[in-house]
Structure 1
């Protein structure tokens, strides 16, 4: 359990510096792996084909794999540290607000708790003036308000400290791995989820709305924005926040409820759609848009089959027919969905401005890969943007929830060459 004095005096900025150092090391490790493959393994394969060359090539590939896996593990360390830094900064801000309130109310902090002028039992009896009773009750209300905030701050800090400690201990034992798939798909995914769990644990879910509002008011506007980007669904569901918070999260224009879009993606990332396509990524994104309330755009005569349509009909219950005739091309094909959104009010935004409810598209840049050069072949939903600026996505084919975009793109680039990422913000203009 983190104590009052531990949290009050902690230097989260020093942990942030450590996280920055770790991410720089992660990049160097990944770059070294790429260099070994390009400058060592590839020339060996091309020019030294005997048994000795083959043995040397295997050794270089093993070294490259260990460096790449190490880079992913180090990035996992960074995610955990970044989550811990944000959690401690938010908790510390809440604690500072509690101490500021104590000063305004004329209270003092003793052993990590607020105390006032009145000690012992409440003043009672016929000889106690009413103004004394009123002053006592008012002070007790102030003490309770301050102590509730202190307890909330310590709860937030303690949950983050505990989760970070467990995960960092686990990562410290995860060394010398040559399996890049294990490092990337298992370890890095787990650490991304731990980071999100810590940030979610900073939110007073289920607490009294008055405490929720006092907690929210203790944070800075920058911290408000960071929480809304990191945990839009949890913040939107919280009771006690200003109404404008929900409007900003959901979308003030009423075109798409971005919270419900993200909620669908988070809830259905590992569930089979009622009609699944072999490459199901765009179908999943369209289902998320539909859950967010995006309305169909059908042709008067052609229904969903026109050139500039989006949506689906119930179909006849036969997969091959429903896949061909009862969904628009833009519903189930990533490239067509991207074109439709941009043609009908949507806009591409830079990665630095991404927010939950945006749609990610992968474009194949390098030639000779599994996808045609210049083809937009994959789509996913932005479901979180953590305070370190890392975009988290959820998707189908393959199915992932709240995983790092940068991490996924790194693997796609290694396997298939250069990728170009497009982030599109839907804004329907037909209703």
Structure 2
């Protein structure tokens, strides 16, 4: 189905000529296409239209200096999920007529979103850092490069880009001491005390500690540098600046700023496995005064399962032909059921009912840390949804680089490697 590239109106649906292969009208207005697929509960038609127009403007803007550029499907996923304010005038992904952001920089902003979400999933479980399945996602330090102004013209644009990347890389103060394990365990003990050593969702005793902002995002200089190189993508996707928060998750001057109990939740070991694989996430709803403790604020979160969708490979594709499919996929996030097979086991909420999307929990958070906690949850929610719409729920390692192999056989090989690693270490079964 062809999506029109001109601005949409709200007039009657124009069925236009018929596609001889499918007998499907190909000149449907975008908002009609979206509405016919997803209804009002997933992505309102006017919003689907607005995001689509932003995608067209972004592509046109970047093509001003790169005629061969075309949006990839991972770009479309980012535009579909980005904080809407970031797509409006003045936002990080706004490319309207008076946009003054250099096309090259705008392209970098788009390109960084997928790697940042993958970086989050890589670090969500520290064990991932040594698994072969994740080897392609572990950051590799940049090789030293000459100053950009010293790059000979005949070395080409790529040499200049490498020099720019090296000399603009994130540089954490090199003499900072890594966060100690004792410090982490002390804060985890505070989390257990707050949650009464029970899972905040199921109520089960002896839970694991789930870090909302991963512990290894900022525990060493090397890890902080890797996070820092991608941090700007968070602002484009969520509207949250990782550098400008209280206790910022990303800082060139301090490590372990999020190694605090407010960044943790007590989670049932079974639910923990689903969380680190991107099968589910917590959504921030609201916060209010805690009548039981004047020093705390009660933050209400909503639990959601993620859908299992077909994986999207990072390669150039016609996003116009796939936009309606993405809109349709958005509808699958509503009231999503637990993953088929429940490979890690069945879960019940505190009432004894099967854990389903929409289940709400209240977290008591010290008043001075509410902003940090809410921001962390919003980041977590955005990244997990990106992974899910990318088709990577339950298999987050399939978010590949644009130069990585994308054949199904390659993914199955990686899945087999992960299965072998997990069965060898924990006896848990991973279903792909």
Q: Does TM-score exceed 0.5, indicating one fold?
A: no
| Larger helix fraction of residues | 1
TM-score tier after normalising by the smaller chain length = under 0.3
Q: Which has the higher contact order (CA 8 A, sep 6+)?
A: 2
- Higher Rg of the two aligned structures: 1
